[in-house]
Amino acid sequence: MQSVMLKAKLHKARVTHAVLDYEGSCAIDGKLLDMSGIREFEQIQIYNVTNGKRFTTYAIRGEDNSGIISVNGAAAHKAGVDDVVIICAYASYTEAELINFKPRLIYMNPDNTVSHSSNAIPVQVA
């Protein structure tokens, strides 16, 4: 049996570009891709904290160390420059793989530098 789990998350990244006339996708700083384990052309979910919109696209590599988060093509209607977004990638894992499973969680500063990383989300208290 396989379970779909959160593989990686870029938490509270800030959109730097919204390019309607690009062929589609989301360009992400290459160093952030490497750190998070998100692969170029991998399907990603984007959750726009600023406006509440959610959408699916795929990742492409942006310039290393540029801080770029460029929402392109039709998705540019769902996120604008300076919007705060959460970018997630999911993957299927077997029960055996889940024994040692830990997602890569990257927490962003407002300038798209990395604040810190983790592999666990704290328990939410009532």
Q: Which of 22, 36, 47, 58 is catalytic?
A: 58
Report whether 94 belongs to an annotated binding site: no
User: Annotated catalytic, 25?
Assistant: yes
Residue 43: both structure tokens together: 């399907």
Report whether 52 belongs to an annotated binding site: no
Greatest alpha-carbon pair distance for the chain in Å reads: 45
Residue 58: both structure tokens together: 């795929």
Where helices occur in the chain by DSSP H, the ranges are 30-36, 95-98
User: Annotated catalytic, 70?
Assistant: no
Alpha-carbon torsion angle 108, 112, 116, 122, nearest 10: 10
Report whether 73 belongs to an annotated binding site: yes
Nearest Cα to Cα of residue 80 among 70, 88, 90 = 70
Report whether 79 belongs to an annotated binding site: no
Binding annotation for substrate: 57, 73-75
Binding annotation: 57, 73-75
Active-site annotation, residues? 25, 58
